[in-house]
């Protein structure tokens, strides 16, 4: 039986729930557009969640206590994934949440007031720590057995899933809520602009004309259960977490290696761990940020692994923007949806193959193939590369 997924939850620029996200993916409707709620940045486009902090507070019934937008988004997705699961001391339950930004959106408010000597509110800093989001969700859901926060750049969400699966297989925990959450902030937008990889136009993953990424925000969570937990909860499995791997490029502080070495190792080892053949991968949900370096490196890695028989692949970041630590978890949810509904999601904005690789992603919604196994890639700064293989529950 291994590790099963029994619940999923997501909030992103294309929707406040799993259903809304699925509808937008099927309709080819992007969530990237002009910023409405985050002010004071130079970015013209981003994947902003279509709700203010006050909207989120009301929907979540969160009072006036200090809470970051990262925590609000995380709570939204975690509640959906958790569903009506009861608190139980019998089932050893943990939570592993990933974030890059943490409570930076609140810290920026404090910092500006502090510099202007405008009576800064020091309590805003209580939400700055990356662990505060995990602890807030754990408290809300009554999870006390194991609480952990990961921050490994853009691979964080997949690494949270990987760690959760390992803890279940090792017998340390019976079920784990895993995922990631990140909110937009001026700090991250300006940071990516300083690296000259932020595109002021709509991002174009795997296209020769690609000029950078659009940042996004959101959260994704999945409930993982082992055999003992399933016997006690009676939940219905919807997918298996069958394979995973992490591998480092050791190439550059931010860039991926041009030969795709770390990504190649991560993909190969994840598929090997899943115990399936290369020809059994139905679809690849690519990392596909839309940057010159990443898309070329990932294309080379796919060629290294699959040769001239690369499965249908696409990046969904032209829908949501790059959600940093949440990306791997959000895209794992999308991968579950692909398996559940036998779908291959379109790679928006693609026109011309990358010179040197010539790979062509799926550009139309695919509905005519049976999707039994999905490879989902998340590659982070410093060459922290992670790949995940999800399979249909048998």
* Distance of alpha carbon 387 from alpha carbon 162, whole angstroms: 9
Verdict on whether the full-model pTM lies above 0.85 = yes
Task: Give me the tens of pLDDT residue by residue for the chain, a chain 394 residues long.
Answer: 689 999 999 999 999 999 999 999 999 999 999 999 998 787 789 999 999 999 999 999 987 778 999 999 999 999 999 998 866 668 999 999 999 999 888 888 888 888 888 888 888 888 888 899 999 999 999 999 999 999 998 999 999 999 999 999 999 999 999 999 999 999 999 999 988 999 999 999 999 999 999 999 999 999 999 999 999 999 999 999 999 999 987 766 666 777 789 999 999 999 999 999 999 999 999 999 999 999 999 999 999 999 999 999 999 999 999 999 999 999 999 999 999 999 999 999 999 999 999 999 999 999 999 999 999 999 987 678 999 999 999 8
For residue 209, the tally of other CB atoms under 10 A from its CB is 11
Q: Residue 80: name the closest of 141, 131, 166 by CA.
A: 141
In the numeric block, which tokens belong to residue 310? 């690369």
Characterise 35 by phi-psi region: left (phi > 0), alpha (psi -120 to 50), beta (else): beta
Which residues, listed in sequence order, are joined to residue 172 by a DSSP beta bridge? Answer: none
| Sheet of strand 313-314: strand arrangement | 146-150, 93-98, 175-182, 218-225, 3-11, 239-248, 384-392, 373-380, 283-285, 313-314
Q: Residue 184: name the closest of 257, 289, 106 by CA.
A: 106
Sign of CA pseudo-dihedral 307, 310, 316, 318: positive
């Amino acid at each position: 039986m291994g590790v099963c997924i029994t619940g999923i939850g997501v909030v992103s620029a294309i929707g406040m729930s799993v259903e809304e996200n699925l509808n937008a993916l099927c309709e080819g409707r992007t969530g990237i557009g002009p910023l409405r709620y985050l002010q004071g940045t130079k970015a013209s486009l981003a994947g902003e969640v279509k709700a203010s902090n006050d909207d989120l507070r009301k929907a979540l019934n969160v009072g006036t206590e200090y809470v970051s937008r990262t925590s609000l988004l995380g709570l939204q997705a975690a509640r959906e994934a958790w569903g009506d699961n009861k608190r139980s001391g019998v089932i050893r339950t943990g939570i592993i949440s990933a974030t890059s930004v943490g409570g930076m959106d609140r810290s920026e408010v404090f910092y500006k007031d502090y510099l202007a000597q405008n009576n800064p509110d020091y309590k805003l800093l209580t939400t700055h720590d990356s662990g505060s989001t995990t602890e807030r969700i754990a408290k809300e859901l009554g999870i006390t057995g194991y609480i952990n926060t990961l921050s490994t750049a853009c691979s964080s969400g997949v690494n949270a899933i990987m760690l959760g699966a390992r803890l279940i297989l090792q017998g340390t925990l019976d079920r784990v809520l895993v995922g990631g959450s990140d909110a937009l902030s001026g700090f991250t937008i300006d940071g990516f602009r300083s690296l000259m990889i932020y595109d002021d136009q709509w991002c174009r993953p795997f296209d020769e004309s690609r000029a950078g990424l659009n940042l996004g925000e959101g959260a994704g969570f999945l409930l993982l259960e082992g055999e003992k937990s399933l016997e006690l909860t009676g939940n219905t499995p919807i997918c298996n977490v069958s394979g995973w791997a992490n591998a480092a490029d050791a190439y550059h502080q931010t860039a991926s290696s041009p030969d795709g070495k770390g990504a190649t190792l991560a993909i190969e080892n994840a598929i090997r761990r899943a115990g399936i053949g290369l020809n059994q991968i139905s679809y690849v949900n690519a990392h596909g940020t839309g940057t010159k370096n990443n898309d070329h490196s990932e294309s080379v890695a796919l060629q290294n692994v699959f040769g001239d028989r690369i499965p249908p692949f696409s990046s969904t970041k032209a829908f949501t923007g790059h959600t940093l630590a949440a990306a791997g978890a959000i895209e794992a949810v999308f991968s579950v949806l692909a398996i559940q509904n036998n779908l291959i999601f379109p790679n928006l904005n693609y026109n011309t193959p990358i010179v040197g690789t010539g790979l062509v992603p799926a550009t139309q919604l695919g509905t005519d193939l049976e999707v039994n196994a999905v490879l989902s890639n998340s590659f982070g700064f410093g060459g922290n590369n992670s790949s995940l293989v999800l399979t249909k529950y048998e």
